[in-house]
Structure 1
Amino acid sequence: MTLPEFPNFKEIDLSFKGVIRDHLSAYPLEASEYTFTNLFAFRDAYNFKVSLYKDILMVLKDMEPVSLFCPVGGSGIFNALAEGFTYLRHVTGEPHFERIPESFVKAHLTDNARFILQEERDHFDYIYDARELRELKGRKFHDKKNKANKFRSSYQYEYAALTPDLIGECLEFEHYWCEVRDCGKYPGLEKERCAILKMLRNFNSLDMKGGLIRVDGKVAALTLGEKILPDTMVIHIEKANSDIPGLYQVINQEFLIHEAADCRFVNREQDLGIEGLRNSKMSYNPVKFVRKYKVRQRGEG
């Protein structure tokens, strides 16, 4: 289906998958936001909408603070930025683009006096060596390897690649996980829950891979991811029963062994400024970050 012409926007639905995916494939961005799955799954949480400025994909976050994400396309990027700022000035008092990955900044915005760039540290993606996480070798992974080994020696478990007939079990596990964590009390967990449900209920229509672990015959861990670049798997969701020590380490390792054997890197997304999440992501020894920026026009905001 054809996207509306900028400045008209429509909510993202599955009928837009082909055209959005084609843009993201032709002009790939390394940040975790830029997959159809992510935009579709979080569309309600952030009121994502899309349009085309000429042949450039424009993504609107239509909730306060209203913003545009990185324009996705080839020629005409500066015109798209200019038109985007004009649009934003009519709908918000703080016109800005956000989640702009470093590759786009280097290609288009470095040393450009018209724009002010601000790092968004809470949204940096963590990038890992996939082989290291599959093998967990060496002193820097000693603690992770010990936890995984302890789990394997203590529990009988089964890993399975996610297939449509297993969706029901995964939905039950997600319900259980959210009951334990009381997701309804925490806006961030509630947004994530809604996204997971969309991913699972539309698994057949999305370009995803999934994996689960059963312990005592019940799903106890679940991972959902997809290739964002030819050599990079992005992990959208990773859930495990936290009462079972070592399970998080094992679902991470098993998923990469079985579903990402051909990947060189793993993108485990951002920490959102949550201290515990930041510590956890750092403990897996990232090899680099996908830096992201907020962009304003000079003289505004």
Structure 2
Amino acid sequence: MNTEGLPLTLALRGEIEDRMRAQRAAWGEQTPSEYAFSNLYLFRHAHDYRYFPGPLPCVAGVTYDGARHVLPLFDPRLLAWRELAGVLGSHDCLFPIPAQALDGVDANKFCWDDSPADADYFYPAENFRGYRGELLRKKRNLMQQLLAAHQVTARPLTDDTAADALAILDAWLRGKQKQPGEADDSACREALALRRHFGLDGLVYYADGLPAGFLLAQPFTPSVAVMRFAKGDDRYKGIYQYMFHHYCAANSDLRWLNFEQDLGLPNFRQTKRSYQPAAMLRKFRVRLRA
């Protein structure tokens, strides 16, 4: 593999997304959340992503912890070990590789491991439709308190409501004591602007007519949606619980929500665990044995 590659641009969306759609179809519900062009594009700067076209196309980048990785746009099980080693080249690992894609990878030539910080949180959509049971009682109570205190409405994210979503994002940044451009602010703003281009489901939520929260979810497989962004104004306690409830209730065919990884951040981890995931979708780093 050459060392340069192509920067990710919107012109590459069809070419890369077609391959990722085929991977999602082959791997099913437990496909890692990275396997969508929108995700690669929105975080192209954070990971220095480069596209390598050809008979064995792939995307190369850098993980949050500094590993130089290759994301294959093909099924790694179909290659002989020398071909797979050639794709890997001088990079540290193939990543993210789902567990079901490891079958057939030559364990004599490759080794693999995974980190809890990389794993996607995977929830039954039914968790959010009813918040049933003792473990989700606090979520249900927060949503009920919000609905008792405010008249909550939802509107599709359109050109007419985009300014309200941006106002919510600004309020979220202030509440987290973040500056513009910090956290995932830049990626979120791009996602808001490109929502139709990427086929994202967008909703803006209002409390007594005032902007209170928004979400951007991505239909991923016929039964899974990935929650790409969810931002709420902290003055409205229960807004997150209501947004997730409303989205799942409005999409009756949805079986699962993928909340992506926690990046090893304690606050992220605590919040995501509190919604009681059914599984953690492990993502493996595959390395050539020394």
TM-score for both structures, normalised by structure 2: 0.89
What residue number does 2:254 align with? 263
Report the aligned-residue RMSD.
Answer: 2.2
**Structure 2, unaligned runs of 5 or more:** none
What residue number does 1:18 align with? 14
What residue number does 1:252 align with? 244
Runs of 4+ in 1 over 6 A off after TM superposition: none
What residue number does 1:289 align with? 280
What residue number does 1:208 align with? 200
Indicate whether 1:217 and 2:209 are aligned. Answer: yes
**Structure 1, unaligned runs of 5 or more:** 89-94
Deviation at 1:153, TM superposition (A): 0.4
Contact 2:81–2:109 at 8 Å: present in 1 too? no
What residue number does 1:144 align with? 139
Q: Provide, for residues 170-200 of structure 1, a one-character-per-residue CA deviation record: whole Å limited to 9, x for no partner.
A: 1222122213323239xxx724111101101
Aligned pairs for 1:1-301 (under 5 A) are: 8-28=4-24, 30-54=31-55, 56-61=56-61, 65=66, 67-74=68-75, 75-76=78-79, 78=81, 81-88=84-91, 95-105=92-102, 107-109=103-105, 112-184=107-179, 190-258=182-250, 260-299=251-290
Counterpart amino acid of 2:22?
Answer: A
- The 1:66/1:283 distance shift into structure 2, 3 A limit, reads closer
Q: Whole-Å Cα distance in 2 between the matches of residues 274 and 165 of structure 1?
A: 35
Contact 2:70–2:88 at 8 Å: present in 1 too? no
Q: Provide, for residues 61-108 of structure 1, a one-character-per-residue CA deviation record: whole Å limited to 9, x for no partner.
A: 1588352243121444745531233242xxxxxx22232222222x34
Report SS of the residue matched to 2:241. Answer: helix
- The 1:279/1:65 distance shift into structure 2, 3 A limit, reads closer
- The 1:184/1:113 distance shift into structure 2, 3 A limit, reads farther
Contact 1:60–1:66 at 8 Å: present in 2 too? no
- The 1:166/1:57 distance shift into structure 2, 3 A limit, reads farther
Contact 1:7–1:51 at 8 Å: present in 2 too? no
Equivalenced residue count is 282
Deviation at 1:142, TM superposition (A): 1.4
Q: Provide, for residues 207-227 of structure 1, a one-character-per-residue CA deviation record: whole Å limited to 9, x for no partner.
A: 110112112322211111112
Deviation at 1:57, TM superposition (A): 3.1
Report SS of the residue matched to 2:46. Answer: helix
- The 1:202/1:145 distance shift into structure 2, 3 A limit, reads same
- The 1:178/1:71 distance shift into structure 2, 3 A limit, reads same
- The 1:245/1:58 distance shift into structure 2, 3 A limit, reads same
Q: Whole-Å Cα distance in 1 between the matches of residues 80 and 172 of structure 2?
A: 43
Counterpart amino acid of 2:93?
Answer: H
Report SS of the residue matched to 1:32. Answer: coil
Contact 1:133–1:256 at 8 Å: present in 2 too? yes
